[in-house]
Amino acid sequence: MMPWVESFSRALQHTSLSWAVAGGYPWIWPACETLHFIGMMLLVGIVGILDLRMLGVAPQIVPGPLERLIPWAIGGFVVNLITGFLFFVGDPFQYIHNTVFWLKLLFIVLAGVNALAFYVTGISRRVDALGPNEAAPASAKFIAATSLVLWIGVIYWGRMLPFLGGAF
C-alpha cells in the first residue's frame, strides 16, 4: 500500500463527514445506497442499450437518438462518483486493504478509457450516422463488447465488496 493512501485515508477518517456517513446520521448510508443504484441504472442502462445496438441487437433502432441520452448516463456516473466517495469517507480502511475495491476502480478506469476511445477516435460519429438496420463498424462492436464486459465487471466487483476480501 502506498503511504499517501494510508495518510489520506487516516485524514478522511477523522472528519465530521466520515462520522456522519459511518453512523452519526443513520439515514445517510441507505440514502447513498439508493442513489448509487439509481446512478448505476442510468449509466449502465443507457450505455448498455447503446452497446447492444452497436452489437446488432434491435438493428431497427437508430443509434443517433440514443446518443442524446449520454448526458443522463454521465449524470448517473457523477451520482455514483459522489456516493462512492461518501462510502469511502465513511470507513476508508475497509476499502483500501480490499483487493476487490481496487479491482472495481480498475474496471471503472478501463471503462472510462474505452469510452474516451469511442469518442476520440471518431467511432461515435460513425455510429451516430447509422440508419435503421445498418450494422456498426467492427471497431464500434469491439468497443461496445468491451464496454459491456467492463461495466458488468464494475457491478460485479462492487457487489462483491461485502463478501470478498474480508473488509466488511
pTM value is 0.92
CA distance 155 to 44: 9
Q: Place 5 in a pLDDT band, splitting at 50, 70 and 90.
A: confident
pLDDT at residue 80 tops 70 = yes
Domain ranges of the chain: 3-160
Helix segments in the chain, DSSP class H: 3-13, 16-19, 28-54, 63-67, 70-90, 93-96, 99-120, 123-128, 138-160
C-alpha cell at 49: 442499450
pLDDT at 167: 65
Task: For residue 4, count CB atoms less than 10 angstroms from its CB and return exposed for 0-12, middle for 13-18, buried for 19 or more.
Answer: exposed
